[in-house]
Amino acid sequence: MSTRFMLLLLLAMSQTTLWSEEPTEPNIILVMADDLGWGDVGFNGNTVIQTPHLDAMAKNGMRLTRFYTASPLCSPTRGSCLTGRHPWRFGVLAAHTGGMRRGEMTVAEVAHLKKYQTGFFGKWHLGWVKPEEQLPRGYYSPPWHHGFDETFATTSAVPTWNPTKTPPDKSSGKKSGKKDSSKEPEPWKGGKPYVHNGVEVADNMEGDDSRVIMDRVLPFIRGAAQNQQPVLACVWFHTPHEPVIAGPEYRKLYPNNGTAKQNYFGAITAMDDQIGRLRDELRQLGIEKNTILFFTSDNGPSDSLAKKGVASAGPFRGHKHTMYEGGLRVPSVVEWPGQIAAGTTSDTVCATVDYFPTVVELTGASLGKKADRPIDGQSLMGVLKGTATQRSTPLFFGYRRLYKDIDGQALVENRYKLLKRAVAGGEYELYDLAEDPGEEHDLAATEPEILARMKARMAEYDESCRLSRDGADYQF
């Protein structure tokens, strides 16, 4: 056998070996809860709600204790996760008020540049997912218009138990005060809120909604692993958004609590179980060390459930729809075995707008001309590796419904936070979060220089978003 032939044989064997190894690009999974308060998970100190799998993620990864959403409500935050841009830049000012613009670039489209398989599963809330839907707000803009190959999505909220059926207390017979247990439940929003790759779904819709979602996630990840392709997946649960209902086995875990807490706590534990299924699948496939797994919530806890003492923002003031920390600061944990030091915590200011630049860095993708548009986020890799302890630029937040005179805004510059309350004629308030994380002592009257500087910076961000929204970032 000639030396040349031996070298060619060895080269072929080497290439075969390399092809059978894990892809060098990491799998990226963005998991998000809906209306989950900062204080509603074990890894942030809750001793009642059982979240063992999220707690295990924190033990094996990093807690981000100052992680913020772009807005104190759903749709705007979701858009920020996908684009790295403040949602006012693309016209999503509040929930149901628009849809994702085709001119935006999403994390899925970035991943496509590096030949990733992309999947979206759960609550979309950035446009209708059915072309025939006739809704009073928003427009048709489903996830497959924005780079996602595999989709299993709803337009908006569903019950967290039996997602195709209207809960008894939400049905048309509620006012009568009578419940007929023999009567078939009314369908929820037509009875087929989910679409799978554009087709309405009727099968496997019973029981816990988080399980319904995860049953579609796992085959997607398994298939990509078998095809030796990296994946980017958004797994956006409905839990614990209202109507929040837990199955009997999960309610039984909380016998010493009332019905509302049993449902809320139980639904969170049910979601946690599905996160456990996801982590187990990654380990069974042998790809956990090549997968970075993020978890957070889209905003703080529900107004009504927080006011009733069911949901918790932990030590923070406020809840969903408010510009206080309870509306914007959310639970967050990241796990990447072998890459992120286990059991670590960071109090660096981070946010949902940071996902996009993080995906760009992880994939090594080049954005081309779209790199010139304003990106409000920063890559999280420095934080996750422990090299970044301060944010270099402020974070801007907003919630706007001008027909009700709602124009809530906030700006966080590491230590200080300026906010404009999300109520008619909302006044400006200034807080030192290092000394006063509970936002009890307004410094607006005693720190006029800081107030003036931050108000000017807030106005600059607002104007920059207006220019983006009106076309500055798009080609016509």
Q: What is the DSSP string of 160-217?
A: SBSTTB--GGGSTTGGGT---TTSPPPBSTTS---EETTEE--SS-SSBHHHHHHHHH
Domain assignment of residue 4, yes or no: no
Domain assignment of residue 390, yes or no: no
Judgement on whether residues 88 and 182 belong to the same structural domain of the protein: yes
The residues near 400 (Cβ < 8 Å, ≥ 6 apart) are 88, 93, 94, 406, 407, 408
Mean pLDDT in residue range 199-214: 98
Flag whether pLDDT at 409 surpasses 50: yes
* Phi and psi torsions of 263, nearest 5°: -70, -45
Around 134, how many Cα atoms within 13 Å sit in the side-chain half-sphere? 0
Domain assignment of residue 55, yes or no: yes
What's the CA gap between 186 and 167, in Å, rounded?
A: 8
Judgement on whether residues 164 and 195 belong to the same structural domain of the protein: yes
What's the CA gap between 254 and 261, in Å, rounded?
A: 8
Judgement on whether residues 213 and 314 belong to the same structural domain of the protein: yes
Q: Look at residue 22 in the predicted model and tell me its pLDDT.
A: 42
Q: Look at residue 313 in the predicted model and tell me its pLDDT.
A: 98
Judgement on whether residues 188 and 305 belong to the same structural domain of the protein: yes
Domain assignment of residue 13, yes or no: no
Look at residues 340, 361, 384 and tell me which one is the last residue of a structural domain.
384
Domain assignment of residue 19, yes or no: no
Judgement on whether residues 282 and 419 belong to the same structural domain of the protein: no
* Phi and psi torsions of 119, nearest 5°: -140, 145
Residue type, 460: E
Domain assignment of residue 3, yes or no: no
Look at residues 384, 418, 445 and tell me which one is the last residue of a structural domain.
384
Could you list the residue range(s) of the whole structural domain that residue 184 is in? Answer: 25-384
Judgement on whether residues 75 and 100 belong to the same structural domain of the protein: yes
Look at residues 321, 350, 384 and tell me which one is the last residue of a structural domain.
384
Judgement on whether residues 57 and 179 belong to the same structural domain of the protein: yes
Q: For the domain that residue 166 is a member of, what is the CATH number?
A: 3.40.720.10
Q: Exposed/middle/buried for 126, CB within 10 Å: 0-12, 13-18, 19+?
A: buried
Query: Is residue 69 within 8 Å of residue 351, measured between CB atoms?
Result: yes
Closest among 336, 352, 356 to 344, alpha carbons compared: 336
Judgement on whether residues 468 and 417 belong to the same structural domain of the protein: yes
What's the CA gap between 75 and 32, in Å, rounded?
A: 13
Helices then strands, counting H and E runs in the chain, come out as 12, 16
Mean pLDDT in residue range 81-100: 94
Judgement on whether residues 410 and 373 belong to the same structural domain of the protein: no
Domain assignment of residue 351, yes or no: yes
Q: Look at residue 311 in the predicted model and tell me its pLDDT.
A: 98
Flag whether pLDDT at 181 surpasses 70: no
Q: How many domains does the chain have?
A: 2
pLDDT-wise least confident of 306-310, 367-371, 387-391, 467-471 = 367-371
Q: Look at residue 136 in the predicted model and tell me its pLDDT.
A: 85
Judgement on whether residues 419 and 372 belong to the same structural domain of the protein: no
Quickly state the pLDDT bin for 14 (edges 50, 70, 90): very low
What's the CA gap between 89 and 463, in Å, rounded?
A: 10
Judgement on whether residues 378 and 435 belong to the same structural domain of the protein: no
pLDDT-wise least confident of 305-319, 352-366, 368-382 = 368-382
* Length of the chain in terms of residues written: 476
Per residue in 342-361, pLDDT (tens digit) is 999 999 999 999 999 999 99
Quickly state the pLDDT bin for 182 (edges 50, 70, 90): low
Domain assignment of residue 14, yes or no: no
What's the CA gap between 290 and 22, in Å, rounded?
A: 8
Integer-rounded Cα Rg, in Å, for the chain is 23
Quickly state the pLDDT bin for 96 (edges 50, 70, 90): confident
Judgement on whether residues 316 and 419 belong to the same structural domain of the protein: no
Q: For the domain that residue 447 is a member of, what is the CATH number?
A: 3.30.1120.10
When comparing pLDDT for 135 and 439, which is higher?
A: 439
Quickly state the pLDDT bin for 134 (edges 50, 70, 90): confident
Q: Give the CA distances from residue 295 to residues 54, 336, 345, 390, 450, in Å, rounded to whole numbers and listed in that order.
A: 8, 12, 14, 21, 34
What's the CA gap between 107 and 142, in Å, rounded?
A: 15
> What spatial distance separates the first Cα and last Cα of the chain, rounded to whole Å?
64
